[in-house]
Amino acid sequence: MHSSSDKDLLKRHKDKWDALARENDRYYVRSVDHEQSDEEFDASGRSDVDAFILGDAALRARVAPFSNKVVLEIGCGSGRITKSLARLFRHVIAVDISPTMLGKAQEFVCSHNVTFIESDGARVPAPPESADLAFSYIVYQHFPSHEAIRESFHGVWRALRPGGLFKAQIRGKPHADASHWSWGPHCDEASAAQLAQSTGYRVITTTGVGTRSFWLLLEKSPSAL
């Protein structure tokens, strides 16, 4: 249950991201200082899927073949990565905090095998045990608090099938400017391990400790929290 202060924080965070989406969704999804064509936006998503899903041997060994699996994407934005996930997986559950982002994603992805869901920024409103893999890139680094990250991780746990995997990028070093639009909390190796354990996961691999791109590959623990 959210406290009133938590609800206010999440509401401000939702309003912020919906305003950014209206201003220039593609810049705030992928901060490149020029206009991004559909082709370039799509190609950048394919590159990330190639690198972080297809290029991850530990993930691939546990989840492949992907064509009969369901993937849950946390923070789909305007569909940059979602479009490539839809080509690879049987079904995609794409979650985002911003209704404007979700509307733009639906237009960009335009695929029958994607379900778009709006969240409050912490809860994960996906059906229980509906996904084989959850994936998130350049999202948790913008969350408003560690508590919101923890709730999201637990929500992903509920949405994963037993033994399902969660690959998530978090911020591994402090942001230099707490007033910047991209600010978010960070985790060191110990606090990331505690986050994983407390939300029901076993850590399989970590990469990029101490960097902005700190990756966790987690497995859903078989025991319920």
Average pLDDT in the chain: 96
Quick one: average pLDDT of 86-102?
A: 98
Please name the residue that has the structure tokens 């029901």: 200
Provide DSSP, 99-128.
HHHHHHHHHHH--TTEEEEE--SS---S-T
Q: Are 89 and 67 in contact (CB under 8 A)?
A: yes
**What is the spatial distance between Cα 144 and Cα 202, in angstroms, rounded to a whole number?**
25
For the chain, what are the domain ranges?
A: 4-220
More confident residue, 102 or 225: 102
What pLDDT, on a 0 to 100 scale, did the predictor assign at position 223? 60
In Å, what is the CA distance from 194 to each residue of 63, 74, 100, 154, 200? Answer: 25, 20, 34, 13, 10
What pLDDT, on a 0 to 100 scale, did the predictor assign at position 225? 47
- pLDDT > 90: percent of the chain: 94
What pLDDT, on a 0 to 100 scale, did the predictor assign at position 5? 87
pLDDT for residue 97 is more than 60: yes
pLDDT for residue 1 is more than 50: no
Quick one: average pLDDT of 120-137?
A: 97
**What is the spatial distance between Cα 48 and Cα 56, in angstroms, rounded to a whole number?**
11
pLDDT in tens, 180-214: 999 999 999 999 999 999 999 999 999 999 999 99
What tokens does 9 get? 């924080």
Q: What is the pTM of this model?
A: 0.96
pLDDT in tens, 139-167: 999 999 999 999 999 999 999 999 999 99
In Å, what is the CA distance from 110 to each residue of 84, 102, 104, 178? Answer: 12, 12, 10, 36
What pLDDT, on a 0 to 100 scale, did the predictor assign at position 222? 73
pLDDT for residue 3 is more than 80: no
Q: SS in 3 state form for 45-103?
A: HHHHHHHHHHCCHHHHHHHCCHHHCEEEEECCCCCCCHHHHHHHCCEEEEEECCHHHHH
pLDDT in tens, 34-80: 999 999 999 999 999 999 999 999 999 999 999 999 999 999 999 99
Q: Is 175 exposed, middle or buried (0-12, 13-18, 19+ CB in 10 A)?
A: middle
**What is the spatial distance between Cα 4 and Cα 14, in angstroms, rounded to a whole number?**
15
CA R_g for the chain: 16
What pLDDT, on a 0 to 100 scale, did the predictor assign at position 209? 97
CATH architecture, range 4-220: 3-Layer(aba) Sandwich (3.40)
